[in-house]
């Protein structure tokens, strides 16, 4: 790494960390910061620069707004090392979704510091606004077994920095270790400590199925909460989120508003969470942290007006050492306060008699 | 047969008021552009002729007379192809008039037919025309609408049917089959995809004409049909003709979407197509393959997408995979796990086509440009047209 690189990266990291610490960023400042990060990546991230150049961008015509920054498709992480430093110099890498496809990609991070600052600040805003120090019961991949799971890394960091002690990990190869979880919940009751269960949607279904089979519930101590993340793609059992939350609230003896969905991707350093205002409503709004902005685009990549459904693009200023703008196949619409995610059933009707990619994944 | 054909003839007129109303409703329901809906209706009713019906029936039953009484058959006892009983046809929610050929053959077999229609009421409108041509159809054909899965009517209609013909996704077909009577014949038409194969001999011919035909197969109906061209295998040529075909395809696609505008694409399909094209563009920028796409996203061509990348299968995308030969293509198709319906080729009569179809598992081989225009007298999805609707009675 050259001195010039170190200086540039260090200055940007300092700007981003200042924004994270302040917890606020207006629209113009967001554009300014995102474009500065893109300019940095255009210079130092060869694969991203090649893609941007193929779209007509050069040093004299750099984007001036976040919406104009070329977004890399999430699948690109499988085809190239998208990093401002050589992969061998990256401190951390996370494996991108290989759950339903054979090949996975890697999200390289030059340093974990920015990632941890971003994820902790986001978690604090969404789940720890009351300053609670919770005991973490984790139904996500254990980093000791899957060191390149971004979700496992994230929750380990949260538990380490915000927990009342070592977390419990209950996800096993054959499902959820219900007995161990129940014993630890019982201990939390005795200790008078609130619990945060962080779980994938699929693990939550497995847990609820296990409780039902055992004919029991698992009431949590007062003040406890649940963070749920992820979907059911490629899974054999699909449950509507409303139904899942209803069952979970009943099993844990908590209000549904205490169940908070996180929406993120391995390719991002920042996350969305259900906004506080929407947690009591049927349609939850995913609120970005101030240094993360969703943009909804049409099939030509053009930005759509608020309220119109399209593909979601994320501009994440905490992705300083990888790619600032990422394009997904997820559907959503911008609404006041954030983003509403839409499932297939909420989009326009499918048409034709052709097989589609989703059918193939299910087979 | 005559009444069915005469009703279809009236629907071939683009100004026939029921057709005009149905076309508008179909556009509204599925989001296709008017030219695309017109082509669909022209093809649907254009093929529904007495000659085509009679040819298919004679082929499957030996003679048309078998429908009306015992017929003598050399070396076998005389036999009568009686109506099998009540037939229920469950239309797909995502297609245009797919139930109509099936209902024509079921009526020809003298069955009592119930059809589940869609919100455009196309089948109901055609049934009215049928009843005008032959009032008896008013008693033997019932067209209804109900919501799938929970409606009591569906349980009654499915449970009472001797034959159930259903179109739809795997999940829908499983749900319908579960509600059929134990002894009923279930005739499922699930979702499929189709592929094309261009050999070196075809590359040596008129590239523009070949590309035009391929583009039509890929982009008509926005690639949504099971007979639409979803991926194209092209043999590598030493002189680079395979790459030149891609250039010709780009020009042809630009022309094809003028003739057949894709209309209002469902957001999920649009997002998947956009992501696929963008991933192709990213790889191209890294020196891996090519990606060419319309500025408005109406179509895209991506060469050599990785085998583990799910293909959008339609929505204006045409993946082009360069191969060394048939075995190479068949291996790629197997790895992608795509069940094939039709195979498009430049010359259906060429010597290698049989081996190709066998390797691909296709049930229809068609010349490029006609993949989505199957003749009524041909089989549908590899299945008989009328045989499922009759029960043979032998007289010893």
Question: With an 8 Å Cβ cutoff, are B278 and A311 in contact?
Answer: no
Q: How far is A281 from chain B (nearest CA, A)?
A: 25
CA A288 – CA A270 distance, rounded (Å) = 8
Q: What does the pLDDT read at residue B169?
A: 86
Q: b/e per residue, B272-303, with b = 16+ CB within 10 A?
A: bbbbbbbbbbbbbbeebbbbbbbeebbbbbbb
> Best residue in A267, A355, A361 to probe B by mutation, most B CBs within 10 Å?
A355
Q: Which CATH architecture has domain B2-191+381-394?
A: 3-Layer(aba) Sandwich (3.40)
Regarding beta strands A272-274 and B193-198, do their DSSP bridges make them parallel or antiparallel, or are they unpaired? unpaired
Residue A242's pLDDT band (cuts 50, 70, 90): confident
Q: Which CATH architecture has domain B193-367?
A: 3-Layer(aba) Sandwich (3.40)
Q: What does the pLDDT read at residue A102?
A: 60
Q: Tell me if B281 sits within 8 A of A51, measured CB to CB.
A: yes
Q: Render pLDDT for A13-66 as a digit per residue (tens, 0 to 9).
A: 999 999 999 999 999 999 999 999 999 999 999 999 999 999 999 999 999 999
Tell me which H or E stretch contains B341.
strand B340-345
Q: What does the pLDDT read at residue B274?
A: 93
Using an 8 Å CB-CB cutoff, list chain A residues near B94. Answer: 349-353
Within chain B, which residue ranges are assigned CATH 3.40.309.10?
193-367
Percent over 90 (pLDDT), chain A: 83
Question: With an 8 Å Cβ cutoff, are B309 and A51 in contact?
Answer: no
Question: With an 8 Å Cβ cutoff, are A298 and B297 in contact?
Answer: yes
Using an 8 Å CB-CB cutoff, list chain A residues near B311. Answer: 357, 360
Question: With an 8 Å Cβ cutoff, are A73 and B275 in contact?
Answer: yes
Q: Where are the alpha helices (DSSP H) in A24-108?
A: 27-44, 46-54
Within chain B, which residue ranges are assigned CATH 3.40.605.10?
2-191+381-394
Question: With an 8 Å Cβ cutoff, are B268 and A344 in contact?
Answer: yes
Q: How far is A46 from chain B (nearest CA, A)?
A: 9
Joined together, the tokens standing for residue A277 give 């205002």
Using an 8 Å CB-CB cutoff, list chain A residues near B95. Answer: 351-353
- Closest CB to A311 among B29, B274, B286: B274
Residue A358's pLDDT band (cuts 50, 70, 90): low
Question: With an 8 Å Cβ cutoff, are B226 and A353 in contact?
Answer: yes
Residue A350's pLDDT band (cuts 50, 70, 90): low
- Whether residue A238 is predicted with pLDDT greater than 90 in this model: the reply is no
Which DSSP string do the residues of B31-77 spell out, in sequence order? ---HHHHHHHHHHHHHS--HHHHHHHHHHHHS-GGGGTS-EEETTEE
Which SS3 state, helix, strand or coil, does residue A86 take?
A: coil
- Closest CB to A79 among B221, B270, B286: B286
Question: With an 8 Å Cβ cutoff, are A79 and B272 in contact?
Answer: no
Q: What does the pLDDT read at residue A56?
A: 95
Residue A348's pLDDT band (cuts 50, 70, 90): very low
Residue A287's pLDDT band (cuts 50, 70, 90): very high
Question: With an 8 Å Cβ cutoff, are B288 and A101 in contact?
Answer: no
Using an 8 Å CB-CB cutoff, list chain A residues near B266. Answer: 347-351
pLDDT in tens, chain B (396 residues): 899 999 999 999 999 999 999 999 999 999 999 999 999 999 999 999 999 999 999 999 999 999 999 999 889 999 999 999 999 999 887 888 899 999 999 999 999 999 999 889 999 999 999 999 999 999 999 999 887 766 788 889 999 999 999 998 888 899 999 999 999 999 999 888 999 999 999 999 999 999 999 999 999 999 999 999 999 999 999 999 999 999 999 999 999 999 999 888 989 889 999 999 999 999 999 999 999 999 999 999 999 999 888 898 999 999 999 999 999 999 998 888 888 899 999 988 777 888 888 888 889 999 999 999 999 988 888 899 999 999 999 998
Q: What does the pLDDT read at residue B310?
A: 85
Backbone torsion region of residue A337, taken as left when φ is above 0, otherwise alpha when ψ lies between -120 and 50, otherwise beta: left
CA atoms within 13 A on the CB side of A32: 8
CA B364 – CA B361 distance, rounded (Å) = 9
Q: What does the pLDDT read at residue A357?
A: 59
Question: With an 8 Å Cβ cutoff, are B297 and A54 in contact?
Answer: no
């Amino acid at each position: 790494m050259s001195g010039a690189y170190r200086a540039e990266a260090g200055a940007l990291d300092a700007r981003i960390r200042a924004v994270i610490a302040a917890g606020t960023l207006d629209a113009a400042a967001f554009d300014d910061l995102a474009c500065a990060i893109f300019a940095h990546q255009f210079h130092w991230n060869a694969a991203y620069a090649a893609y941007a150049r193929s779209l007509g961008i050069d040093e004299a015509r750099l984007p001036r707004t976040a919406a104009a920054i070329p977004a890399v498709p999430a699948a690109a992480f499988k085809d190239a090392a998208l990093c401002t430093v050589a992969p061998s110099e990256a401190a951390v890498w996370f494996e991108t979704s290989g759950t339903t496809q054979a090949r996975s990609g890697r999200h390289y991070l030059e340093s974990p510091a920015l990632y941890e600052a971003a994820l902790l600040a986001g978690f604090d805003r969404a789940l720890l606004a009351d300053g609670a120090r919770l005991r973490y019961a984790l139904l996500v991949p254990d980093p000791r077994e899957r060191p390149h799971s971004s979700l496992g890394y994230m929750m380990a960091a949260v538990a380490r920095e915000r927990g009342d002690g070592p977390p419990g990990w209950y996800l096993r190869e054959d499902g959820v270790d219900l007995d161990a979880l129940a014993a630890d919940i019982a201990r939390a009751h005795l200790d008078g400590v609130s619990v945060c269960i962080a779980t994938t949607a699929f693990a939550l279904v497995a847990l609820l199925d296990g409780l039902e089979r055992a004919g029991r519930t698992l009431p949590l101590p007062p003040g406890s909460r649940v963070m749920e993340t992820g979907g059911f793609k490629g899974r054999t059992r699909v449950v509507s989120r409303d139904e899942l939350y209803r069952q979970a609230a009943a099993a844990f003896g908590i209000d549904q508003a205490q169940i908070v969905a996180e929406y993120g991707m391995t390719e991002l350093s920042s996350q969305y969470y259900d906004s506080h205002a929407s947690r009591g409503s049927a349609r939850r709004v995913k609120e970005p942290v101030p240094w993360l902005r969703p943009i909804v685009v049409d099939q030509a990549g053009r930005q759509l007006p608020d309220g119109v459904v399209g593909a979601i693009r994320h501009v994440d200023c905490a992705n300083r050492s990888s790619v600032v703008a990422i394009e997904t196949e997820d559907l959503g619409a911008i609404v006041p306060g954030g983003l509403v995610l839409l499932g297939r059933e909420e989009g326009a009707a499918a048409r034709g008699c052709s097989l589609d990619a989703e059918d193939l994944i299910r087979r | 047969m005559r009444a069915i054909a005469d009703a279809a003839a009236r629907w071939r007129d683009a100004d026939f008021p029921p057709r005009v109303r149905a076309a508008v409703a179909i556009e509204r329901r599925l989001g296709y552009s008017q030219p695309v809906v017109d082509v669909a209706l022209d093809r649907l009713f254009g093929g529904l002729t007495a000659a085509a019906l009679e040819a298919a029936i004679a082929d499957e039953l030996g003679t048309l007379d078998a429908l009306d009484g015992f017929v003598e058959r050399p070396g076998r006892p005389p036999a009568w192809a009686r109506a099998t009983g009540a037939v229920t046809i469950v239309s797909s929610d995502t297609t245009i008039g797919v139930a109509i050929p099936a209902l024509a053959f079921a009526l020809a077999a003298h069955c009592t037919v119930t059809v589940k229609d869609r919100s455009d009421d196309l089948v109901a409108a055609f049934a009215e025309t049928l009843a005008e041509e032959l009032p008896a159809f008013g008693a033997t054909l019932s067209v209804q609408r109900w919501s799938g899965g929970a409606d009591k009517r569906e349980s009654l209609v499915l449970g009472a049917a001797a034959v159930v013909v259903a179109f739809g996704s795997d999940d829908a077909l499983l749900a319908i089959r579960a509600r059929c009577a134990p002894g009923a014949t279930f005739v499922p038409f699930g979702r499929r995809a189709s592929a094309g194969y261009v050999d070196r001999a075809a590359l040596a011919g008129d590239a523009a004409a070949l590309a035009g035909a391929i583009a039509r197969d890929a982009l008509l109906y926005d690639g949504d049909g099971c007979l639409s061209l979803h991926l194209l295998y092209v043999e590598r040529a030493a002189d680079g003709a395979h790459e030149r075909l891609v250039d010709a395809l780009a020009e042809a696609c630009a022309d094809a979407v003028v003739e057949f505008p894709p209309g209002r694409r469902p957001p999920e399909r649009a997002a998947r197509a956009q992501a696929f094209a963008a991933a192709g563009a990213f790889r191209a920028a890294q020196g891996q393959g090519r990606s060419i796409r319309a500025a408005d996203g109406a179509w895209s061509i991506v060469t050599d997408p990785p085998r583990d990348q799910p293909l959008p299968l339609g929505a204006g995308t045409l993946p082009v995979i360069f191969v060394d030969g048939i075995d190479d293509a068949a291996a790629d198709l197997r790895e992608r796990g795509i069940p094939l319906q039709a195979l498009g080729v430049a010359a259906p009569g060429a010597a290698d086509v049989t081996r190709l179809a066998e390797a691909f598992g296709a049930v229809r081989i068609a010349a490029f440009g006609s993949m989505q225009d199957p003749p009524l007298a041909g089989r549908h999805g590899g299945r008989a047209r009328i045989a499922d609707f009759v029960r043979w009675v032998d007289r010893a």
